Chain A
Amino acid sequence: MTYIRPAFKHPHLPKNQIGYTAKDYEGSLSTLCAGCGHDSITAAIARACFEMNVQPHKVAKLSGIGCSSKTPAYFLGNSHGFNSVHGRMPSVATGANMANRDLVYFGVSGDGDSASIGMGQFVHAIRRNLNMVYVVMNNGCYGLTKGQDSATADLGSKSKAGSINPFQAIDLASLAVELGATFVAQSFSGDKQQLIPLLKAAMNHKGFALLNVISPCVTFNNNPGSTKSYDYVREHVEATGTVDFVPEKSEILHSQEEGTDKYVEMHDGTYLKLHKLDQHWDPEDRISAASALQHARAKGEILTGLLYVHTGHPDLHDVLGTAGKPLNAMLEKELCPGNEALQEVNAGLR
């Protein structure tokens, strides 16, 4: 019996700007079921980090409980990771982010982890505009506990055992738009061409970025009648358009502006290039995003792509006016400024 990844790699693998190959962003071998959508998403995250030239040690992966929440073990093996308790990933992410604002934060969660037990945490992370990429690997079921319907399972969706889900689904993307999330996107694990640029854009977005990714559970929710199966999703996806992350302003000048192309400037002078398929929708307009989502739902479609983006909104650090430096980069003098400073603080509170 052997299930061990060989040490050899392709001898001519391309390197990114900081000299790493895509291999350097891999983690240990996945123990998820063969063909699980979650594995494709982790591969997309690893690829996005490679393409964004991030130092692996400048990334933190945080998760709750579930097959999805296990995945941080399977990508970015050289990054920081914290596997928290069920539904509590946002709290841990908040703490970590407050202590060190210099890392890229990937929150990895499932539909059970976020839409049921962790719902309270999820909405507050959005409300605070915590600077992180929040990935929901959404398979409409509790994969790890053998496939019970989750809160994102669609009304009328059929389980593998044949029962019909009698409840309304929670639409995480609509909810996020409603709550004022500053970056909301939806995608499909089986479409890396769309997913990777979205991840790159989300990584570069300052503020809370939700990526709700439909991710078929091949073992418990890939049956006919399920609305989260490979076949069903492929038949019902409708993309808002394409998105590209443009790191250099100069590149924009070279490209021909088309009627449907739109550039969204990000906080650091980089751009998102949006090629819209639907003229009536404006990704920078919350009402238009909300209505596009409602329209798609009414038509039984799954709307994918970038749905809503709002740059320039203060993130949690801005709101709280925290120090610019991570705590671990401060010296003792800065962390313990002494009695005089303490007296001043106390006086201010009197």
Chain B
Amino acid sequence: MEPTNVKNPEYYHKVVDCQYACPAHTPVPEYIRLIAAEKYTEAYLVNWESNVFPGVLGRTCDRPCEPACRRGRVEEEPVAICRLKRVAADNKEDITRFIPRGPFPPNGKKIALIGGGPASLTVARDLAPLGYEIHLFDEQKAGGGMMRSQIPSFRLPDAVLNEEVGFILNMGIHAVFNKRVESLKAVADEKYDAIFVGTGAPRGRDLSDLPGRSEGAANIHIGIEWLANVAFEHTHAIGKKVIVLGGGNTAMDCCRTSRRLGGEQVKVVVRSPFSDMKASPWEKEDAMHEDIPILDNHVPLSFEVKNGRLTGMTFDKVHPVYDENGKRKLVSTGEAPVFIEADDVLIAIGQENSFPWIERDLGLEFDKWGMPVVDALTFQSTMPNVFFGGDAAFGPKNVITAVAQGHQAAVSIDLYCNQKSLTERPSPFTNLMSTKMGIHEWSYDSLVVNDQRFAVPQAPKSETLRDRKKEVELGFDVKTAFQEAQRCLNCDVQTVFTEDRCIECDACMDICPTNCITFTTNGDEADLRTRLIAPAENMSQDLLVSATLKTGKVMVKDEDVCLHCGLCAERCPTSAWDMQKFLYNMAKPASYLPSKL
């Protein structure tokens, strides 16, 4: 193999598994160390710079970082990255003085944001300090999009959402609520320099063709509409027996909300097998903890209506059959249809985009699925001054994806307004710094603790089921937070190898607790991977390969299960290994972190 080019910032970035997996590339180990040091404000700001909604995300994030966490490859469970974020949010001091506050000297450009969800709010935050005049329109009565209308208060208290939406709106954004945009053309005619569409995926799927749908309509609800009605306090109750159709997170929120609105026998009924359900494992656990059974492999056949009133539903029992390509088919077991009683049914089987307000003759192309044609790098549509982001761009995802796309769209808008090429993206900010303090001393906690993942305590069910707004999770206390933070392996503290210092004494290879390092003759990657002390079978993890050393061998390090314990550097007589902290910040139009916190 060719020597690894560590000058490319993406090499070390990829070693920081969590940060790499985070769509917004939040410097996770950096903030976890700050939490361990009880520097909650700093930890919060590191988050806020990257993901804009640390308090919201510390409670609700889909956490793609956690399955990626290195800790999960050396023991049972990843670090509780997400819930540590909440600790920073819960314990921070008043941070208003650290947040850029207008009025900012205007740069003469005007931007319209359609929709006030996390995507639009991110664009607003990223552009406002540069002097852009920002007009935001949303049909809801307050900002936050689905964070407000969909995510229930028992998972995300209003106060937390309001604070973080407020940080942005207080930057001098011209927000117009209760205002639905009915025509893109009308907005375009207002002579904005750029328009950002962050309208989400607002339409819930229905089962219109199922027998009994129209007869039972009074007691059949579309999940996301129902949740919004609950959130905006138009709906206060539901029947005692409730069926929730669907296996995603919306279904989990529907069933748990039902339990709080009077539902006593609430059942989730899903077509697929339990293990294939879209909902996150922790959401399923939380639902089951609230005495909600999940019936899998049940395909809806009909709504049953008697005397004009919904009585329940019938289902066909199925089992999954997989073809040679692993594609799943649900095949009927041939048993008699199953009847399940219900006073109300919530349909939570997915969301769709819908753009009835965008005229099709403006030059904004749509594909055959009715989705706008959007560039995956720049988020520009085929109308050069119109950009998309969040669920509106590529279908429903989650808050952190909306934020990440908002950042990219903001970069594009800034480039566009300055007549620069949108494909020449600004480089990330990076920094690499030695952590060596002395013998056996590093400026990070190199000790690898053996603790298993700590569980987040919850309020008793007897209290939470009685009050829709009572938050279920209590969050880590600071002592547990410290212990959980110590589980982090500091993957951003990189093992940096300087070949011309190496005397090939093998000390690092011998000491490494997880056998990451091998000195051997070079070969191509596939061959090298089999010849290491421990085989490098995880193809998603790179090999760090040195240039040829004096004896003709090369140093090969498999990044897969490196514990970043620093023992290699500790045992190296010549400091050919050094532990260096790598900071990577995704490029944004402006930097928010004060240079000295």
Contacts and interface: CB of A to CB of B under 8 A. Distances in A.
B507 A1 contact: no
A216 B450 CA distance: 36
Contacts of B467: none
B571 A10 contact: no
B441 A1 contact: yes
Interface string A1-30: 111111111111110000000100000011
Given A39-B510, A230-B504, A8 B570 contact: no
Interface string B427-459: 000000000000011100111101000000000
B572 interface: yes
Contacts of A218: 505, 573
A13 B74 contact: no
Interface in A194-238: 216, 218, 230-231, 234
A3 B506 CA distance: 18
Contacts of B112: none
Interface stretch (B174-182, B217-225, B559-567): B559-567
A12 B538 CA distance: 10
B535 interface: yes
A6 B565 contact: yes
Contact of B446 (A2, A33, A216, A231): A2
Given A2-B446, A6-B565, A13 B515 contact: yes
Given A36-B505, A43-B509, A216-B505, 13 more contacts: A2-B440, A5-B567, A8-B74, A11-B73, A11-B74, A34-B570, A34-B573, A35-B503, A35-B571, A35-B574, A39-B511, A40-B507, A230-B505
Contact of B572 (A13, A34, A43, A216): A34
19 contacts: A1-B440, A2-B440, A2-B446, A3-B570, A4-B447, A6-B448, A6-B514, A7-B448, A8-B563, A12-B535, A30-B511, A34-B573, A35-B572, A36-B505, A39-B506, A39-B507, A218-B573, A230-B503, A234-B551
Given A8-B74, A12-B535, A34 B445 contact: no
Contacts of A2: 440, 442, 445-447, 566
Interface string A177-202: 00000000000011010000000000
Contacts of B511: 5, 29-30, 39
A5 B565 CA distance: 8
Interface in A247-272: none
Given A8-B513, A10-B561, A190 B504 contact: yes
Contacts of A13: 515, 534
Chain B contact residues: helix, strand, loop or mixed: loop
A11 B440 CA distance: 27
A12 B567 contact: no
A40 B504 CA distance: 10
Contacts of B286: none
Interface string A159-175: 00000000000000000
B290 to A, nearest CB: 35
A127 B244 CA distance: 87
B534 A10 contact: yes
A35 B507 contact: yes
- Among B503, B561, B566: residue with most chain A CB under 10 A: B503
A43 to B, nearest CB: 4
Contacts of A190: 504-506, 551
Interface of B: 73-75, 440-442, 445-448, 450, 503-507, 509-511, 513-516, 533-535, 537, 550-551, 561, 563, 565-567, 570-574
A5 B551 CA distance: 29
B573 A35 contact: yes
A230 B502 CA distance: 11
A140 interface: no
Contacts of A234: 550-551
Interface residues of A, number: 34
Contacts of B561: 8, 10-11
A248 to B, nearest CB: 23
Contacts of A5: 511, 513, 565, 567
A8 B505 contact: no
Contacts of B445: 2
A37 interface: yes
A239 B75 CA distance: 44
A160 B510 CA distance: 27
B510 A43 contact: yes
Given A35-B572, A218-B573, A12 B537 contact: yes
- Among A4, A5, A8, A231: residue with most chain B CB under 10 A: A8
Nearest to A75: B510
Nearest to A43: B510
Contacts of B447: 2, 4
A34 B513 contact: no
Nearest to B444: A2
A33 B509 CA distance: 15
A240 to B, nearest CB: 19
A198 to B, nearest CB: 16
- Among A2, A12, A218: residue with most chain B CB under 10 A: A2
Nearest to A74: B510
Contacts of B534: 10, 12-14
B574 to A, nearest CB: 7
A92 B440 CA distance: 36
Contacts of B507: 34-36, 39-40
Contacts of A37: 505
A271 B385 CA distance: 79
Sort A-B residue pairs by CB-CB distance and give the 7 closest, nearest first: A35-B573, A6-B448, A43-B510, A2-B447, A10-B534, A35-B505, A3-B440
Nearest to B504: A190
Interface in A32-51: 33-37, 39-40, 42-43
A45 to B, nearest CB: 11
Contacts of A36: 505, 507, 573
B75 A8 contact: yes
Contact of A9 (B504, B514, B550): B514
Contacts of A1: 440-441
Contacts of B572: 34-35
B428 to A, nearest CB: 30
- Among B75, B537, B567, B573: residue with most chain A CB under 10 A: B573
A7 B447 CA distance: 11
A39 B445 CA distance: 25
A11 B445 CA distance: 23
Contacts of B75: 8
Nearest to B503: A230
Contacts of B537: 12
Contacts of B509: 43
Nearest to A216: B505
B73 A33 contact: no
A143 to B, nearest CB: 14
B573 A33 contact: yes
Contacts of A34: 507, 570-573
Contact of B506 (A4, A6, A7, A40): A40
Nearest to B438: A1
Contacts of A4: 447
Contacts of B506: 39-40, 43, 189-190, 192
A192 B504 CA distance: 11
B273 to A, nearest CB: 28
Nearest to B566: A2
A9 B571 CA distance: 18
A92 to B, nearest CB: 27
A7 B573 contact: no
B226 to A, nearest CB: 45
A277 B429 CA distance: 56
A10 B507 CA distance: 18
Nearest to B521: A193
Nearest to A229: B503
Contact of B505 (A6, A22, A40): A40
Contacts of A10: 514-516, 534, 561
A4 B516 CA distance: 17
Contacts of B566: 2
Nearest to A218: B573
